[in-house]
Structure 1
């Protein structure tokens, strides 16, 4: 049988022509790209392949940047907390920061743009009471209150691009110059980026796709004084701040931002924080500006008959693909790093582009490709978790990045990627453009709504914070399940109610976070709408600390819907008699052993009507409750696993009163799944594990049969 080809992008580098040709053939690649730190030579550019060229808009232009250092990008940072022991306090505000990355902005008056705060009271210290010592990079505060804590919020210049810094340090690039990022909001920089792009396009006729990596403002990535990551927020807008931006914001929005609106007590408005209105206004302001400026660059690329591709990472701030302005840009494609099913869906679901592409892991860097390590292990795990999501919404292309010469030294890895690329094309050719079978419509309710579709916090380089354990686990489980998923905000519900087609609402996360909702649950309009919706037949699934905000004798504000609440220590004098477990419950039918992760403690049933499904160590961890015609389900935690994916699926069907529909297209073995495509009369049975599995398969017509699947196997079947 003729080998399938296409839809794969291969990284290459100079002096690697013959090996590139070999891997192009083996992996069926039809596009070649460079990477940060590599270049393509002329011979490689003449191969029969589409050529992607990495293009940096606001970095990697040091000749220009050094002439206009006053236009370097800026950001607000906060000092460490310092305790006053006398009436005068000196704060060395740069302590703990990497001085190769940042330097204080003394060009603009600190008395106007900086802020000193008494963190014991939250009061702003008058500028009359502090002075800056520029030689020592410190702030001296007079008339402080002894034993109060103080911080300095200061404006700084960012003199080294964070991604290049990370790659520089990781790959030991020695005396390679540090890329200086500059701000396109500034006049010289704005003019330069457009003129340079015009000239660059003329000088690079072999480029077919301009791979913008990315545009203007990097996500917040600050290093400490050891050159290690100090603070990372993939969604952080901190590096888009400048005096010019703040002045333009005040003119457009009618009020002025404080430094505190950005530094946010040192939390920097991380994704976990319930966003303030000021911060949401700032995000909207930056997105409008970035979309307008990026469209001009994309138009220039199109004028030269080339495609414009955006990398979903690095300097992507302001180009959020689920925001209100992205569609106006006219981007041809988006490419992003795929770490799991959730990150695949972030890319694959993006509307308004001609095609999407996923860069699979591992990256061909020496932190993975070194003697004694087996990169196949990471690649296999990455592919299997992402493949579940691919079966629901396929990417148009896949690829890899880094130094191809490193990967070439690992023959087992080369063999494995050959299998992956063939399997990807098989999946794509079967299901592209078709709608998969959907059993339920699920709405994930949080403070961000559609802006953060499939997005939690996405810590750089694939790490997960335990704080997002349950929420990330929920999204990962949903990413490859036969359900339709929408993301709605609290404001969406208050303004428009629950969408008519929604069967289930999920609210998951730790108390006080943007995912759970925090103080948004104070709003009686929100709780009333949701109670009525469930009462009329809707389903509500709460995970972790859903609807959590302590007021008026409730911690879970929808406790009456969920049938449980959390003991905070205030009602210990009230006996909790309800501990009887409901045996053989539908939700727990496939469970061998419960895993609630970090879980929640001190959850108790409100009354005897609550169905307690799991009770241990003096607390309820899984329960259900009837509320009018609807149902609520509570789960104490949901780290991602095949078992917990099944548990969640059963909880969704139970809450929706649709238990009888779950086995329409279904695999009894939790390590296997069935994906059906009614439009083309095909279905796929997949083994998500690395071991042989035996499963009963329900084929959508009421028939059941037993199937044996080899490790990681997909079996395609036709039906009539």
Structure 2
């Protein structure tokens, strides 16, 4: 057994167990967690010591004495209907009173906004007032039966991550207040706090920033439950001071509506406005600059600086333009599947570390909980991704004392730690074999949201997303180099030279599908020409969808299918019979799972091959377009059968079917990853059952082998 590359969460009183796990798991680093304390004895055991630090909530006494420097947020009231010409709205009524407090320090007439949501018009401030005693907005001359909202500023009086942990673990400690470092005196204090903290932690070798300054959008309702969660949100960056600084730089002033966005809050599912992109860029530059100063101070103290990708990560944008300015030594991120694993491991940074779920919290590690089941579910997905792009380190988080109560969990983690190290030992840090072409995922966001599409709350299932997220989960472990490109990339630079297949995934009108971008002539014609010259296009859900010039799927000629939206009900639709044989479905056994699927998809092209029908609608099809090819899928939730289906669809769309058999397992429950420079390959079993499989190379069987449940075997080429 080897050792190293593993970080263990520790706590005071678990010294004996830490030493036992040092042997069993092969740990070489220890860390604290929110709510735990590391003893001096553990610090002196010879491990590298990670210490977590969240600067914006570190000094609660200073925050309480400087409440004008607390972080703020723009929120929107409920939509209220006027039944007379006077309407009273309590703007904060359905928000959590322990999390938010109305900002009445800054003039509401200047910083708030009342909007008639029936007409979309802004109500003149002369026609409304704010009653400070009752804390309500009174609208006079309201139009009967019109609906109104108030967009208002609030102070955040409970730091949201600490609040979440507090409520999850039933803590009784003081509420932590979040400080906004954009205020000059707050910035100065945070840097002083960091310097003092570094002096007080001589045994710390690695400072684990969690993360830097502004949390993602985590908004609770008046019952203390999650109301709005957006892992990519920038709402906490707002303040009157920030808006004024923005206006000086950009020459225009942002309105409250630019933040609340009609109640959509600029979710990444929407195509972003120019104003919102400016706001993101404005904050990214500030955050990168201040984070870099923090990292420099850590380095001067002789320590390493790593960032946790999560919590207060707003504006750090690891795939953005300014991330490399921060100068981090590593990024640590939580992973619950292959997609979130690749989200971390693909980051351009010196080193990456994956903190696997389950987190050692009482919601899983309790009577009736199934931590082993959660562990195996995560590892089966993450392992596929790690074989494509390995992380340098792995670890866990939370309360070790909880995990220790589950000996089966402890034993199974030991096996995973060894398997993780084997990936590094056997691959020798070399790149795995990939197809001769790249796969490009096309959406509005492009590179900045690499491996981040269709996510709301980190790794959590969502009914509107799972049928699409499965595409990326499959891609995370398939033998393709994947890049994320935007519509603007195509307009400005065309389609990247090495691209063999473009994939478009999502619902109509969303940023993932593209919405109005599909009315752009250059985008349409560039893709048409590229496919006609031999490129491949795969559309999932409602690709190229935008009602325009008599067509819903703007590239219906390429896809070979169209969607009935109700405007062509009088047009007779050709009856179709699914093909029984096709390269794409040669491994299919039983029914194909399309998840939620899309209804009313009909045949548009004469040479379309229909491969599956669901609810009288085409769910899978293949089409030729001049020299190129296209595939349509109504949805693709992740399972190992669908991963094989997608792999076949990609090779077919690229007109590279024979290439698939260069390294190929004939049992779709198994996969192989090949490292030519290391002279090795590994075969993995992606199920909880024993599997027999054969590895095919250049179309010929080279070996047959049996694999244990979740098993793997490394072999020489």
Task: Report the TM-score range of the alignment, normalised by the length of the smaller protein.
Answer: over 0.9
Which residue of structure 2 aligns with residue 398 of structure 1? 394
Match of 2:377 in 1: 381
Aligned partners of 1:687 and 1:709 also within 8 Å: yes
Q: CA deviation at 1:616?
A: 4.0
Which residue does 2:123 correspond to in 1?
A: 125
Question: Which residue pairs with 1:494 in the alignment?
Answer: 491
Q: 2:584 aligns with which of 583, 587, 591?
A: 587
Take 1:470 and 1:631, find their aligned partners in 2: how far apart are those partners? 23
CA contact (8 A) 2:454 2:468 kept: no
1:14 to 2:50 alignment: no
Aligned partner of 1:160 in structure 2 is 158
Alpha-carbon offset, residue 327 of structure 1: 0.3
Aligned residue for 1:491, secondary structure, equals helix
Per-residue CA shift, 1:457-492, capped at 9, x if unaligned?
544363222222233111101000001100000100
Match of 2:422 among 421, 426, 433: 426
Distance 1:239 1:41 in 2: 34
Q: What per-residue deviation string (whole Å, max 9, x for no partner) do you get for residues 4-24 of structure 1? A: 110000011112211111112
Partners of 1:74 and 1:658 lie apart in 2 by 54
**What SS is found at the alignment partner of 2:343?**
helix
Q: Is the contact between residue 93 and residue 152 of structure 1 (CA under 8 Å) also seen in structure 2?
A: yes
Aligned pair partner of 1:677 in 669, 675, 678: 675
Instruction: Report the TM-score when normalising by structure 1.
Output: 0.98
| Residues 470, 508 of structure 1: 8 Å contact kept | no
Query: 1:372 and 1:576, CA in 2 relative to 1: closer, same or farther beyond 3 A?
Result: closer
For residue 700 of structure 1, report the CA deviation from its aligned partner.
Answer: 4.9
Aligned counterparts of 2:461 and 2:122: Cα–Cα separation in 1? 35
Q: Distance in 1 between matches of 2:552 and 2:323?
A: 38
User: In structure 1, what is the equivalent of residue 193 of structure 2?
Assistant: 196
Q: How does 1:282-293 map to 2 (within 5 A)?
A: 282-293=279-290
Q: What residue is the counterpart of 2:688 in the other structure?
A: 690
What is the DSSP-based 3-state SS (H/G/I as helix, E as strand, rest coil) of the residue aligned with 2:704? strand
**Equivalences for residues 438-457 of structure 1 within 5 A:** 438-439=434-435, 440-457=437-454
Q: Take 1:385 and 1:579, find their aligned partners in 2: how far apart are those partners?
A: 36
Q: Give SS of 1:443's match.
A: strand
Partner of 2:80: 82
Match runs of 1:214-613 below 5 Å: 214-351=211-348, 353-439=349-435, 440-460=437-457, 462-592=459-589, 593-613=591-611
What residue in structure 1 maps to residue 23 of structure 2?
A: 25
Secondary structure in 1 aligned to 2:174?
A: coil
The CA deviation at 1:613 is 1.2
- CA distance in 2: counterparts of 1:386 and 1:47, whole angstroms: 31
Contact 1:84/1:149 (8 A) holds in 2:
yes
Q: 8 Å contact 1:219–1:233 — kept in the other structure?
A: yes
1:701 offset after TM fit, Å? 7.2
Note if contact 1:441-1:483 (Cα within 8 Å) is conserved in structure 2: yes
Residue number in structure 2 paired with 1:55: 53
Cα distance in 2, alignment partners of residues 702 and 303 from structure 1 = 58
* Superposition TM-score, scaled by structure 2 size: 0.98
Q: SS state of the match for residue 123, structure 1?
A: coil
Note the 1:570-719 alignment, pairs <5 A: 570-592=567-589, 593-700=591-698, 702-719=700-717
Alpha-carbon contact 1:470-1:509 (below 8 Å) kept? no
Write the distance in 1 (CA, Å) between the matches of 2:673 and 2:560: 34
Distance 1:254 1:582 in 2: 59
- Unaligned runs of 5+ residues in structure 1 are none
Distance (Å, rounded) in 1 between the aligned partners of 2:226 and 2:570: 47
The offset of 1:610, in angstroms, is: 1.1
Separation (CA, whole Å) in 2 of partners of 1:457 and 1:97:
26
Deviations 1:36-62 (A, max 9, x none): 000111111101100000111101310
Residue pair 1:456, 1:468 contacting (<8 A) in 2 also: no
Distance 1:244 1:326 in 2: 24
Cα distance change on mapping 1:139 and 1:160 into 2, 3 Å = same
Shift of the alpha carbon at 1:642?
0.6
SS in 2 for 1:514: coil
Q: 3-state DSSP class of the match of 2:661?
A: coil
User: 1:389 Cα deviation (Å)?
Assistant: 0.2
How many angstroms does 1:456 deviate by? 2.2
Tell me what 2:94 maps to: 96
User: How big is the shift at 1:342?
Assistant: 0.5
Q: Which runs of 4+ in 1 moved over 3 A?
A: 457-462, 699-705
Look up the SS of the partner of 1:324 in the other structure: coil
Give 1:128-147 correspondences, 5 Å limit. 128-147=126-145
More deviation, 458-467/468-477: 458-467
Deviation at 1:578, TM superposition (A): 4.3
Distance 2:124 2:668 in 1: 62
Alignment partner for residue 187 of structure 1, among 179, 184, 187?
184
Residue 205 of structure 2 corresponds to residue 208 of structure 1: yes
Root mean square deviation of aligned Cα: 1.1
C-alpha spacing 1:313/1:697, structure 2 compared with 1 (3 Å)? same
Q: 1:621 to 1:460 in 2, by over 3 A?
A: closer
